[in-house]
């Protein structure tokens, strides 16, 4: 009987570890499936502690440039609802150009009273212009 023993599990894990995910997508496309971009949501989910890093900044930029930043915020909200992260790290504040971004996201985060957020003083920081021209 076929069952998920250690040998099969290792075989499957090894395959997925060594195969480019894009190639897997392409193989499903050959079966007639169509895919759409989901990188914005993935970038948020991948931020396990909501480290708002370069990846999520890029995601924000992508959506902002399309006038769809609300979708980005919605993504953040649903992530919080789903996972109820309690340790939010603002490592992303180290990005010099994310002040505007920080304010927007902080506004969203503040809606969740049960999430403890670290207070950061940005008063000395120059509210940098977020470069959205790219």
Partner 1 sequence: MQITGYHGTSVDNANNIVSNGFTISAGDEHWIGDGIYFFIKGLFKNPDESAKKWAIANSWDNDSKKHKYSNYGTIEANISIDEDTFWDLTSSDGIETFNYLRDKYVEAISKAGKRLKDKDFKDGHIINKAVNDGFFSPSAIKADFYIKFTTERIFTINFRIPNCTILALRNNNCIEKERLKIKDKGQIQ
Q: Is 82 a binder of partner 1 (CB under 8 A)?
A: no
**Cβ(99)–Cβ(125) below 8 Å:** yes
**Cβ(61)–Cβ(98) below 8 Å:** no
Q: Is 68 a binder of partner 1 (CB under 8 A)?
A: no
Q: Is 37 a binder of partner 1 (CB under 8 A)?
A: yes
Q: Which two tokens stand for residue 121?
A: 């003083």
- HEC string of 117-133 equals CCCCCCCCCCCCCCCCC
Q: Is 134 a binder of partner 1 (CB under 8 A)?
A: no
CB of 51 to partner 1, least distance (A): 18
**Interface positions with partner 1 (CB under 8 A):** 1-4, 8-9, 11-13, 15-16, 19, 21-22, 24-25, 27-28, 31-39, 41-42
């Amino acid at each position: 009987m076929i069952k998920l023993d250690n040998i099969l599990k290792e075989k499957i894990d090894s395959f997925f570890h060594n195969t480019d995910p894009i190639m897997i997508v392409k193989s499903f496309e050959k079966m007639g499936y169509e895919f759409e971009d989901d990188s914005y949501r993935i970038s948020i989910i991948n931020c396990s502690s909501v480290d708002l890093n370069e990846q999520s900044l890029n995601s924000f930029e992508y959506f902002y440039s399309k006038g769809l930043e609300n979708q980005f915020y919605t993504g953040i909200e649903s992530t919080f609802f789903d996972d109820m992260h309690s340790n939010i790290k603002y490592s992303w504040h180290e990005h010099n150009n994310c002040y505007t971004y920080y304010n927007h996201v902080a506004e969203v985060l503040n809606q969740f009273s049960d999430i403890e957020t670290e207070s950061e003083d940005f008063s000395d920081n120059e509210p940098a212009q977020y470069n959205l021209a790219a």
